[in-house]
Amino acid sequence: MPVWSIVLLIVIAVLIAALVALTIVGKKLQKKQEANNAQLEAAKQVMSMLVIDKKMMKMKDAGLPKMVLDQTPKAFRGRKMPIVKAKIGPRVMSLMCDPKVFDQIPIKAEVKAEVSGIYIVGIKSVRGGKIVVPEKKKKGLFKKNK
């Protein structure tokens, strides 16, 4: 048997093993995500809030409680997250937001939102209007560089 065929068989075996490992890990992560989503759905409440500001910022700079920062993995602390600063009752709070919902939240408007802890899960209504979903235009490869 030539050497190149042995090397080719070894490479194929490694690729198959990597594919099997990725599918197993992917299924475990999917089960974890489904369990977390079920917990979020069970704990969500509808709150009325006045949105002051929304930004994509690092969790360290967002002004979130220390307990939240301690519970998050170190890899996520430096990553930019959608943060909404809102006035709920008499208190001004920084809340994390679902990326899908982040684009729909209007600034300087009163919103009824579904909140689970400090995480905004969804929007029920916006006072004085409809929920507007902005359309993002996709840029081509060459248009980005200009």
Concatenating the DSSP letter of every residue in 74-124 gives HHHHSSEEEEEEEEETTEEEEEEE-HHHHTTPPTTSEEEEEEETTEEEEEE
Higher local confidence (pLDDT), 89 or 136: 89
Q: How confident is the model at residue 137 (pLDDT cuts 50, 70, 90)?
A: low
pLDDT tens-digit map of 41-78: 898 899 999 999 999 998 888 888 888 888 888 888 78
Dist. CA 62–CA 68, nearest whole Å: 11
pLDDT beyond 90 at 26: yes
pTM of the predicted model as reported, rounded to 2 decimal places = 0.69
Q: What is the mean pLDDT of residues 105-133?
A: 82
**What are the φ/ψ torsions at residue 138 (nearest 5 degrees)?**
-85, 135
Q: Residue 57 and residue 79: Cα distance in Å, rounded?
A: 8
Residue with tokens 């899908």: 100
Specify the pLDDT at position 124: 85
Confidence of residue 34 (pLDDT cuts 50, 70, 90): very high
**pLDDT at 32 > cutoff 90:** yes
3-state helix, strand, coil in the chain (%, to 5): 40, 30, 25
- Residue 110, CA distances (Å) to 47, 85, 123, 131 in order: 10, 12, 11, 12
Q: Which residue has the higher pLDDT, 47 or 127?
A: 47
pLDDT at 146 over 90: no
Cα end-to-end distance, the chain, whole Å: 54
